[in-house]
Amino acid sequence: MTMRAWTHDWTTAGRRASLERGIEGAAGLALAVALVAALTGSGIRFGPWTLPVREVWRPCLLAGVLVGWRALMLRRAGEGGGAAPGESSASDAAFSVVCSCGIATGVLLWANHQIRFCGGSDSYGYVSAAHALVKGQLILPQPIVQWLPFPGALPVATPLGWAPAPSGNAIVPGYPLGLSIAMAIFILVAGPGAEFYVPFAAGIGLLFVTYRLTARLTDWRIAAVATLLVAFNPVVMNMVTQPMSDVPAAFCYLLAVYVLLVEPRHLPAAGLAAGLCIWTRPIMVVTLPALLWLLPRTRDAWLRFAAGLAPVAALIAGAQWHLYGGPLKTGYGAPPGLFRVSMVALNAPTYARWITIVHSPLVFLAVALGVWRAPRRLVMASALGFVLGILPFLFTGPYFDDFGLIRYILPVLIPCLLVAVIGVGDMMTRYLSRSAAVAALSVFAIAAASYSYRVVASEGMFHGVTQESRYAAVGDWIRDHTPLQSVVLAEIHSGSLRFYADRTTIRFALLPQDELAATVRALAGRGIACFAAIDGEEEERLFRQRFSREFANVTMDPIGGVRGTIFYRLETKG
């Protein structure tokens, strides 16, 4: 990936410039291949495809040849009195190679660690809804509700990631449809499995918009550094590999900011991007004032923005009415005590601490420089968006202290990071000579990317494929060792067993404590075998405590185990 400004100059000079950019980008890519192969100890992987790199010296040699070729071109340009000969051109070319290598390294690391499994709540919810969209059936009847021996059984038969339908005998997607619609499009175009690459594609879009926005507001060198740091941002690196909504929402939000700031001719596109962001992450509706603040103060501008936003808003309202019984109702429901003023005292310092850990304490100095030196409109929009975006999460309970907390604010965090990079870059280019500024920017980019990589490694994010593959392994075991007419009691696997094993599941955490034996008996009366998939010690403890009085009437025979999940066959005694 090359970092020079692209033009549509088809003259000899233009073709020469394009060749120069291509050589710099190719050299950076070759170095990135060698670096990623060295870091991972293997080749370059992307899903089921692998580019073996058994000898790292080969891409290094190719990079050396390309760098030598570029140096020869610089020398000839200097001897011939070229437009940009000498030290500055050489430093710009070297800087372009460094940034191309850094960005390509980040993207190749994304590719190497793509997670193509779904389990738990979020990933299963999005992926299964995408497959339901492809089949044209978002409301799924649950016949098992009629067979269970207690009233109000629908929540028990509703897997994680889905919600009970108002009808009382079916389930509907529990999460917004924005990401699932994009996944469904990928499935239709490229087949099942393609849905897992939506966040990756959104990540590429995020980098493109980052570069375009920053380059239009400042300088291509600062834009290159900003793009590199977004590629290596720990939250981006973590979420771009998973079938989750964080990076797609961040891409849509930044795209809306980009259009409003530098492409006001395309205001409907900004409204469309804002609408898709909200459909992907509904809480982002609170950031609309930040986007509206960027609109020109004319009636025509507001109408053009609304022309893009209104159709999406209508689709959202229609989908929610169809699925949940009202245009303002969602699959999240309204858990009591979800928002509490008392949570601010816990959440505010926790968010501040994790922002500091993820980005280093110097991020606050960089943001301060950005507030001083970055374009005013970007600063104001970023600040307002961040305040509005984080505010709901400050009041949210229950409390938890984890790296994953920062992903909720990723869409509003990215513009703030751009402000920080612009601040640092502006200070360097303003007070240093051109060659010294390029060197300083290179050091800053490499140091910041190295820090981010250490954070990613220390948080165990590169082990995501191994961790998430257990859902498929558990599903495969159940599919191969249980009859098709089976019901599996599960919790964390309540969705993934439906996806990988095609088995009906019951959430045992919601099953009434005195109904286990009656449930097993009722299912057996219909010729349905009953099993349990208990994941880890915590679920084992929960299961045995919840049904301790029922074990006088139910036997739990262990029949196998996979990756920390134990399988039991449940039968009634007597």
Q: What is the pLDDT of residues 10-21, one digit of tens each?
A: 566 667 778 888
Measured at the CA of 419, the angle between CA 416 and CA 421, to 5 degrees, comes to: 110
What angle do the packed helices 178-190 and 246-262 form, to 10 degrees? 100
Q: Is the dihedral of CA 475, 476, 477, 480 positive or negative?
A: positive
Tokens found for residue 382: 């970023």
- Domain boundaries, given as residue ranges, for the chain: 1-112, 122-175+466-572
Judged on CB neighbours under 10 Å (0-12, 13-18, 19+), 64 is middle
What is the helix (H) or strand (E) element at residue 98, kind and residue range? helix 87-112
Rounded distance between C-alpha atoms, residue 372 and residue 145, angstroms: 61
Tokens found for residue 190: 């490229």
> SS3 for 288?
helix
Q: Is the CB of residue 2 less than 8 Å from the CB of residue 22? A: yes
Instruction: Identify which of 400, 302, 306 has the alpha carbon closest to the alpha carbon of residue 350.
Output: 400
Query: What is residue 461's predicted lDDT score, i.e. its pLDDT?
Result: 80
Rounded distance between C-alpha atoms, residue 315 and residue 269, angstroms: 16
Q: What is the pLDDT of residues 404-419, one digit of tens each?
A: 899 999 999 999 999 9
Query: What is residue 491's predicted lDDT score, i.e. its pLDDT?
Result: 96
Rounded distance between C-alpha atoms, residue 528 and residue 558, angstroms: 18
Rounded distance between C-alpha atoms, residue 73 and residue 266, angstroms: 40
Q: Is the CB of residue 566 less than 8 Å from the CB of residue 540? A: yes
The chain-wide mean pLDDT, for the chain, equals 91
Write the Ramachandran bin of 435: left for phi over 0, alpha for psi from -120 to 50, otherwise beta. Answer: alpha
Query: What is residue 120's predicted lDDT score, i.e. its pLDDT?
Result: 87
Tokens found for residue 274: 């804002």
Q: Report how far apart the first and last C-alpha atoms of the chain are (Å, whole number).
A: 70
Tokens found for residue 550: 């029922």
Query: What is residue 244's predicted lDDT score, i.e. its pLDDT?
Result: 95
Query: What is residue 51's predicted lDDT score, i.e. its pLDDT?
Result: 81
DSSP state of 6: P
Tokens found for residue 528: 């349905």
Which residues lie closer than 8 Å to 56 by C-beta, 6 or more apart? 34, 37, 38
Query: What is residue 1's predicted lDDT score, i.e. its pLDDT?
Result: 46
Residue 179 is which amino acid? L
Counting as low any pLDDT under 50, the low residues of the chain are 1-2, 5-8, 83-87
Judged on CB neighbours under 10 Å (0-12, 13-18, 19+), 538 is exposed
Query: What is residue 85's predicted lDDT score, i.e. its pLDDT?
Result: 42
Q: Is the CB of residue 214 less than 8 Å from the CB of residue 420? A: no
What angle do the packed helices 220-232 and 434-458 form, to 10 degrees? 10
**Which residues share a beta bridge with 506?**
489
Query: What is residue 86's predicted lDDT score, i.e. its pLDDT?
Result: 40
pTM as predicted:
0.93
